[in-house]
C-alpha cells in the first residue's frame, strides 16, 4: 500500500536530515529563490544579526552596497561613527513598523513629530538612531540637518540595491502618542526622557507585523522593480521585556510572530526568500552549542555555521570546482562577532 510520505525527500525527514547529520554539517536550506554574484548590490538593514551577512559579503569580495560611506574620514573615525555597519547609518531597525516609517519618510514626505532628544551630557541625538553618532550633536538643528543628509543615502539604498537583507528582530517597541512613530530604544534609555502622557509601549501582533512588512515590500517593489528581499529572523533573545512576564516567554512570543510573518511574506511574494539563520542557531540539534555562557549572544561557531550555509546556497560561483571552497570558507575572527552594534544592549547598562 502506498502513502503520501513514501516519496518525500530526505530533507523532509528528521531522522535523515537532522538526527543523522553532524552538527557542523547541518544545512536546512532547500531551493533558494535567487543567487548573488559579484555584480549584485546587496544591502542590509534590521537587527544586530544582519551585520554578519554584510561582513561575509565583503569578505568574499562581493558587492556590499554602502550609500553612506564617510569618504573624508579615517578608518578609525568611520568605525567609531558607525559607517558601514549597515548600508546606511540608520542603526538597528528592530521592527517592520520602524522600517515602514523610514520608507515613508524618504518617499512620501512623512514628518516625524520627534526631531531631537537631549542627552545627559547636553548633546542631542536623533530619536530614530540614537547611538549612530557617539559624540552627539550640538543642537536640534544639527540633528535635523544630519538626518536630511542621511535620508538621501537611505533613498539610494531602497532605489539602487538589487538584494535587501532584512533581519526581523523584535515585536516590542515604544511609540509616540503624537504621531505613532516607533523608536529603536525607549525614551530615557540613552537620551530623551520618558513621559507616559507622550509615549506608550506596544507589542505588535502577527496581524500588525504582517501589515507593516507587506506594505513596505509592496512600496519597495514599486520604486525598485528589480529588487529581491532576503528575510531572516534574529536568533538573539530579547535583552529585556516590558511585558510582566519572564523574558524567555516574551522572546518565544516575539520570534514566533516574526517567523510566522516571514513565512507569510514568502508565500505572498515570489521575489522574497527566507534564510533560516534562526533555525540554524536555535535548533535542538545544536544543543545550545552556538550561544555564549549567557545563553543569548551568538558565538563565533554559530556565526561561522550560518555564513557557511549562506555562501553555499545564495552565493553563485564561477564554476563548480569553486563551490566547495566557498562553502568551507574559514570562520570570521573570533572577536568579530563581539563587535556587532546593538542598540538594545543599552538596556542592560541600566540594570547590570
- pLDDT, position 336: 46
Return left, alpha or beta for 54; rule: phi > 0 is left, psi -120 to 50 is alpha, else beta: alpha
Q: Which residues contact 120 (CB under 8 A, 6 or more apart)?
A: 191
Which one is predicted more confidently, 342 or 169?
A: 169
Model pLDDT for residues 250-308, shown as the tens digit of each residue: 999 999 999 999 999 999 999 999 999 999 999 999 999 999 999 999 999 999 999 99
Model pLDDT for residues 123-150, shown as the tens digit of each residue: 999 999 999 999 999 999 999 999 999 9
- pLDDT, position 79: 85
| Res 200 pLDDT > 90 | yes
Q: Which residues contact 318 (CB under 8 A, 6 or more apart)?
A: none
Distance between CA atoms of 16 and 3, rounded to whole angstroms? 19
Which one is predicted more confidently, 1 or 118?
A: 118
Name the pLDDT band for 323 (thresholds 50, 70, 90): very low
Model pLDDT for residues 179-199, shown as the tens digit of each residue: 999 999 999 999 999 999 999
- Predicted TM-score of the model (pTM): 0.90
Amino acid at each position: 500500500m502506498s502513502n503520501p510520505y513514501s516519496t518525500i525527500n530526505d530533507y523532509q525527514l528528521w531522522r535523515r536530515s537532522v538526527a543523522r547529520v553532524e552538527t557542523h554539517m547541518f544545512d536546512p536550506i532547500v531551493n533558494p529563490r535567487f543567487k548573488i554574484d559579484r555584480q549584485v548590490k546587496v544591502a542590509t538593514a534590521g537587527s544586530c544579526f544582519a551585520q554578519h551577512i554584510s561582513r561575509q559579503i565583503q569578505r568574499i569580495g562581493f558587492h556590499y552596497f554602502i550609500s553612506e560611506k564617510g569618504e573624508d574620514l579615517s578608518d578609525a573615525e568611520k568605525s567609531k561613527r558607525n559607517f558601514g555597519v549597515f548600508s546606511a547609518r540608520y542603526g538597528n531597525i528592530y521592527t517592520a513598523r520602524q522600517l515602514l516609517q523610514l520608507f515613508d519618510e524618504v518617499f512620501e514626505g512623512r514628518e516625524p513629530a520627534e526631531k531631537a532628544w537631549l542627552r545627559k551630557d547636553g548633546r542631542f541625538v536623533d530619536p530614530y538612531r540614537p547611538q549612530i553618532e557617539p559624540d552627539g550633536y550640538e543642537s536640534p538643528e544639527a540633528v535635523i540637518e544630519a538626518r536630511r543628509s542621511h535620508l538621501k543615502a537611505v533613498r539610494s539604498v531602497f532605489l539602487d540595491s538589487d538584494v535587501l537583507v532584512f533581519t526581523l528582530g523584535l515585536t516590542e517597541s515604544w511609540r509616540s502618542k503624537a504621531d505613532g512613530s516607533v523608536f529603536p530604544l525607549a525614551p530615557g534609555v540613552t537620551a530623551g526622557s520618558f513621559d507616559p502622557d507622550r509615549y506608550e509601549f506596544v507589542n505588535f501582533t502577527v496581524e500588525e507585523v504582517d501589515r507593516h512588512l507587506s506594505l513596505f515590500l509592496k512600496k519597495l517593489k514599486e520604486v525598485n522593480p528589480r529588487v529581491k528581499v532576503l528575510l531572516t529572523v534574529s536568533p538573539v533573545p530579547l535583552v529585556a521585556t516590558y511585558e510582566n512576564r519572564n523574558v524567555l516567554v516574551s522572546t518565544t512570543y516575539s520570534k514566533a510572530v516574526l517567523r510566522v510573518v516571514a513565512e507569510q511574506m514568502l508565500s505572498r511574494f515570489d521575489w522574497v526568500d527566507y534564510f533560516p539563520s534562526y533555525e540554524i542557531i536555535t535548533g535542538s540539534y545544536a544543543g545550545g552549542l552556538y550561544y555564549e555562557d549567557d545563553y543569548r549572544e551568538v558565538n563565533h561557531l554559530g556565526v561561522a555555521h550560518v555564513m557557511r550555509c549562506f555562501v553555499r546556497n545564495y552565493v553563485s560561483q564561477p564554476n563548480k570546482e569553486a563551490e566547495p571552497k566557498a562553502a568551507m570558507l574559514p570562520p570570521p575572527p573570533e572577536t568579530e562577532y563581539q563587535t556587532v552594534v546593538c542598540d538594545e544592549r543599552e538596556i542592560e547598562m541600566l540594570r547590570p
